[in-house]
C-alpha cells in the first residue's frame, strides 16, 4: 500500500468513526484499531487529529476542483512542503481585466462540505488554534488579498484598506458555510445563491470602484 492509499484509509476510517461517535470522542487509538495500522504509521503521516482533519478537507476539495476546472485555473500553495500542498485549494478565473468570477469555486467548496456534512459540521465547530476553521482562515486570507490586488490592477488603495477587505470577505465566506453546515434544515449550502453566486468578488469590485470615485471627486 502506497503512502496516499494509507492516508486515505486513515482518513476514511476517521470519517466513518465520526459518523458513529462525536468527533471529539474519537481517539487516534480508535483509528488505529479500526484500520489495523500501528501508531507509528499514523504519526508518520499525520501530526495529530487536527492535521488529519485539514488533510481530509484539502484532499476532498482538491479532487472536486480538479474535476471542475482545467489545470491552468487551479491555485496551489507555493513553497509548502506538507502533504496537503499537492492538492489545489483555490482557482483564478477572470471574467474581465479587473473582474473575477469565482462562483463555481464557492459551489465546489459547498459541495465538499455537503458530501461529508456530519463530519465537517463537527470539525468546523472547534475553534482551537489548529482547528479546521482557523486553518481555512489562514489559507484563504492571502488568497483574497491576491484577488483584491488583481481587481485593483494599477489602481491605488491604502494597505490597511486592502487588509480590511481581505479579512472582512474571508470571514464572510467562511462563516456563511460554517453557519449553514450547522443548520439541519439547509438542504444545500449554496442553493439560494442564484444570481448572487459571485457576491464576494462582485462586492469587492464594487467597493473598490466606489472608493476610487470618492478619491477622484
| pLDDT per position as a tens digit, 99-122 | 999 999 999 999 999 999 999 999
Looking from the CA of 119 toward its CB, the CA atoms found within 13 Å total 23
- For residues 116 and 142, the answer to whether their CB atoms sit within 8 Å is no
Q: Is 32 within the bounds of a domain? A: no
- Domain of 181 in residue numbering reads as 72-216
Rounded mean pLDDT, 76-101: 91
Identify the pLDDT of residue 190.
Answer: 72
65 part of a folded domain: no
Q: Is the pLDDT at 217 greater than 50, yes or no? A: no
Asked, for residue 152, whether it belongs to a domain, the answer is yes
Number of Cβ atoms within 10 Å of the Cβ of 202: 19
Q: Would residue 104 count as lying in a domain? A: yes
Structural domain contains residue 202: yes
In order, the DSSP letters of 42-104 are: HHHH-SSHHHHHHHHHHHHHHHHHHHHS-GGGEE--SS--SGGGGS--EE--EEETTEE--HH
- The pLDDT confidence band at residue 187, using thresholds 50, 70 and 90, is low
Query: Does 82 map to a domain?
Result: yes
* Predicted local confidence at residue 78, as pLDDT: 85
pLDDT (mean) for 66-85: 91
Mean local confidence (pLDDT), 190-196: 80
Given a cut of 70, whether residue 91 has pLDDT beyond it is: yes
What secondary structure letter does DSSP report for 192? T
Check if the beta carbon of residue 17 is closer than 8 Å to that of residue 34: yes
pLDDT tens-digit map of 11-20: 999 999 999 9
What pLDDT score was predicted for residue 174? 96
User: What number of helices (H) and strands (E) belong to the chain?
Assistant: 9, 4
Q: Which CATH number do you get for residue 196?
A: 1.10.357
Q: Which residue has the higher pLDDT, 212 or 120?
A: 120
Question: Mean pLDDT of all residues in the chain?
Answer: 93
* Residue 83 pLDDT exceeds 50: yes
Q: Beta strand pairing status for 99-100 and 74-75? A: unpaired
Residues 6+ apart with CB under 8 A from 83: 3, 7, 45, 55
- Residue 79, pLDDT > 80, answer no
Whole-number Å distance between alpha carbons of 56 and 18? 13
Measured CA to CA in angstroms, residue 40 lies from 29, 34, 48, 210, 217 at distances of 11, 15, 12, 56, 65
Taking residues 153-172, report their average pLDDT. Answer: 95
Global pTM reads: 0.94
Environment class of 11 (CB within 10 Å of its CB; exposed 0-12, middle 13-18, buried 19+): buried
The proportion of the chain whose per-residue pLDDT surpasses 70, expressed as a percent, equals 97
How much is the pLDDT for 97?
A: 83
Query: How large is the C-alpha radius of gyration of the chain?
Result: 19
In a domain, 119, yes or no: yes
* Residue 62: inside a domain: no
Cβ pair 52, 11 in contact under 8 A: yes
Q: What is the mean pLDDT of residues 187-205?
A: 85
Number of domains in the chain: 1
Provide mean pLDDT across the span 83-109. 94
Give the bridge partners for 71, in sequence order: none
Judged against a pLDDT cut of 70, whether residue 37 lies above it is answered with yes
Q: Residue 154's closest CA among 87, 212, 217, 75?
A: 212
Amino acid at each position: 500500500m502506497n503512502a496516499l492509499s494509507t492516508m486515505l484509509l486513515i482518513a476514511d476510517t476517521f470519517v466513518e468513526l465520526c459518523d458513529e461517535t462525536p468527533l471529539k470522542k474519537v481517539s487516534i487509538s480508535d483509528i488505529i484499531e479500526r484500520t489495523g495500522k500501528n501508531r507509528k504509521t499514523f504519526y508518520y503521516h499525520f501530526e495529530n487529529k487536527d492535521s488529519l482533519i485539514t488533510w481530509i478537507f484539502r484532499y476532498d476539495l482538491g479532487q472536486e476542483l480538479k474535476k471542475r476546472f482545467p489545470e491552468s485555473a487551479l491555485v496551489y500553495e507555493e513553497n509548502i512542503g506538507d502533504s496537503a500542498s499537492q492538492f489545489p485549494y483555490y482557482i483564478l478565473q477572470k471574467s474581465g481585466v479587473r473582474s473575477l468570477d469565482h462562483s463555481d469555486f464557492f459551489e465546489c467548496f459547498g459541495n465538499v462540505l455537503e458530501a461529508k456534512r456530519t463530519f465537517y459540521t463537527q470539525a468546523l465547530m472547534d475553534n482551537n488554534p489548529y482547528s479546521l476553521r482557523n486553518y481555512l482562515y489562514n489559507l484563504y486570507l492571502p488568497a483574497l488579498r491576491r484577488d483584491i490586488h488583481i481587481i485593483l490592477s494599477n489602481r491605488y488603495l491604502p494597505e490597511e484598506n486592502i487588509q480590511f477587505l481581505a479579512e472582512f470577505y474571508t470571514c464572510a465566506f467562511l462563516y456563511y458555510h460554517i453557519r449553514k453546515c450547522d443548520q439541519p434544515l439547509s438542504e444545500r449550502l449554496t442553493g439560494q445563491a442564484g444570481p448572487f453566486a459571485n457576491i464576494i468578488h462582485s462586492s469587492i469590485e464594487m467597493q473598490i470602484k466606489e472608493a476610487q470615485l470618492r478619491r477622484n471627486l
